[in-house]
Amino acid sequence: MKILVCISKAPDTTSKIAFTDNNTAFDKNGVQFIINPYDEWYALVRGLELKEANGGSVTILNVGGADNDPTIRKALAIGADDAVRINMEPTDALGVAKQIADYAKENAFDMVLCGKETIDYNGSQVGGMVAAFLDQPFVSNASKLDMVGNTATIERDIQGGKEIIEVDTPFVLSAAKGMAEARIPNMRGIMAARTKPLQVVEPSAFENTSEVASYELPPAKGACKMVSADNPAELLELLRNEAKII
- Subset of 94-123 contacting other proteins (CB under 8 A): 94, 97-98, 116-117, 119-123
State the Cα–Cα distance between residues 104 and 84, nearest whole angstrom: 11
Q: Does 28 bind other proteins (CB under 8 A)?
A: no
C-beta closer to other proteins: residue 187 or 211 = 211
Nearest distance in Å: CB 27, other proteins: 11
Per-residue HEC secondary structure of 174-206 comes to EECCCCCCCCCCCHHHHHHHCCCCEEEECCCCC
Among the listed ranges 62-70, 106-114, 172-180, 195-203, the one in contact with other proteins (CB under 8 A) is: 172-180
Going from the C-alpha of 34 to that of each of 11, 183, 192, the distances in angstroms are 6, 14, 19
Q: Which of 76, 90, 171, 193 binds other proteins (CB under 8 A)?
A: 171
From candidates 1, 88, 128, 198, binder to other proteins by CB under 8 A: 128
Q: Which of these ranges, 48-56, 78-86, 196-204, 227-235, lies near other proteins under the rule CB under 8 A? A: 227-235
d(CA 18, CA 122): 17
Please give the size of the binding site for other proteins, defined by CB under 8 A.
82
The residue range among 52-60, 67-75, 196-204, 232-240 that interacts with other proteins, by the rule CB under 8 A, is: 232-240
Q: Binding of other proteins at residue 227 (CB under 8 A)?
A: yes
Q: How far is the CB of 50 from other proteins (least distance, A)?
A: 19
C-beta closer to other proteins: residue 122 or 195: 122
- Under the criterion CB under 8 A, does residue 203 sit at the interface with other proteins? no
Distance of CA 36 to the CA centre of its chain: 5
Question: CA torsion 182→130→34→123, rounded to 10°?
Answer: -100
Q: Do residues 51 and 73 touch, judged by C-beta distance below 8 A? A: no
Which of 198, 199, 187 lies closest to 78, judged by CA?
Answer: 187
Query: Which x/- pattern, by CB under 8 A, does the window 39-78 give for other proteins?
Result: ----------------------------------------
Helix (H) or strand (E) holding 49: helix 45-54
- At 143 the three-state DSSP class reads strand
- Taking the least distance from each CB to other proteins, the nearer of 52 and 234 is 234
Q: Do the beta carbons of residue 154 and residue 111 sit within 8 Å?
A: no
* Nearest residue to 153 (alpha-carbon basis) of 144, 161, 162: 144
CB of 107 to other proteins, least distance (A): 19
CB of 153 to other proteins, least distance (A): 7
- Cβ at position 196, least distance to other proteins in Å: 28
Return phi, psi of residue 33, to 5°.
-100, 145
